[in-house]
């Protein structure tokens, strides 16, 4: 059973990206994956500082996050777009996790693991100006970012009360991201 880690790069209580990631996670589960929904607000990490790292080593939550990332074979990430880029919250966490001190070979938490990226925004561009930048960064971390993405525009009008998507086509496309990652993990494990 493929183990997939799904999270929104937002700590906002009513985050649209959290709603979107849950739809993608459902797609992965429907394809047979064991999905963990990670809440970044439960693992606050300080802004990276090389002096602090040298003096105190890895912060406790970075070590905990490293274990969580290590235990999963694929990722689903839904990110807000901030000023056409991805948020510092996400960059800071992944930069910490890329440090050699997390143990194992460099980037082993990420390398050769499939990942789908998506975005949700109340705006009309749906975060699509940010997604190529996020893809580029995750590729540097050696994740296998699948070609398909989803940018959900007008996210504040996109969900029903129960978290399902109003537009069945959008629902299918977002679930397909989860399904693709789940299937790719299985294929890679068999190769």
Ligand X SMILES: Cc1cc2nc3c(=O)[nH]c(=O)nc-3n(C[C@H](O)[C@H](O)[C@H](O)COP(=O)(O)O)c2cc1C
Q: How far from the centroid of its chain's Cα atoms is residue 140's Cα?
A: 15
Q: Minimal distance in Å, beta carbon 85 to ligand X?
A: 8
Q: Minimal distance in Å, beta carbon 80 to ligand X?
A: 3
Tally the C-alpha atoms within 13 A of residue 162's C-alpha that lie toward its C-beta: 2
| Adjacent-strand bridge partners of 35 | 4
Tokens describing residue 86: 């991805």
Q: Minimal distance in Å, beta carbon 168 to ligand X?
A: 22
Distance CA 153, CA 146 (A): 21
Q: Minimal distance in Å, beta carbon 186 to ligand X?
A: 29
Closest to ligand X by CB, 81 vs 179, is 81
Closest to ligand X by CB, 28 vs 130, is 130
Burial of 133 (0-12, 13-18, 19+ CB in 10 A): middle
Closest to ligand X by CB, 31 vs 137, is 137
Q: Minimal distance in Å, beta carbon 161 to ligand X?
A: 17
Closest to ligand X by CB, 101 vs 163, is 163
Closest to ligand X by CB, 54 vs 124, is 124
Distance CA 141, CA 133 (A): 13
Q: How far from the centroid of its chain's Cα atoms is residue 125's Cα?
A: 20
Nearest to 147 by CA among 129, 133, 135, 130: 135
The residue ranges that bind ligand X (CB under 6 A) are 8, 10, 12, 15-17, 80-84, 120-123, 125, 127
């Amino acid at each position: 059973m493929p183990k997939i880690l799904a999270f929104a790069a937002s700590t906002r209580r009513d985050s649209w990206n959290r709603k979107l990631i849950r739809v993608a996670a459902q797609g992965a589960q429907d394809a047979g994956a064991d999905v963990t929904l990670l809440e970044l607000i439960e693992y606050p990490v300080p802004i990276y500082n090389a002096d602090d790292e040298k003096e105190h080593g890895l912060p406790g939550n970075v070590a905990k996050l490293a274990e969580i990332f290590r235990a999963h074979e694929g990722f689903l990430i839904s990110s807000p777009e901030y000023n056409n880029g991805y948020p510092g919250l996400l960059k800071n966490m992944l930069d910490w996790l890329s440090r050699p001190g997390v143990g194992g070979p460099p980037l082993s938490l990420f390398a050769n693991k499939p990942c789908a990226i998506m975005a949700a925004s109340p705006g009309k561009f749906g975060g699509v100006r940010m997604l190529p930048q996020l893809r580029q960064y995750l590729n540097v971390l050696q994740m296998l970012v699948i070609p398909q993405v989803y940018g959900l525009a007008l996210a504040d009008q996109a969900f029903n009360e129960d978290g399902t998507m109003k537009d069945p086509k959008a629902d299918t496309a977002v679930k397909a991201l989860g399904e693709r990652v789940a299937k790719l993990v299985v294929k890679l494990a068999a190769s």
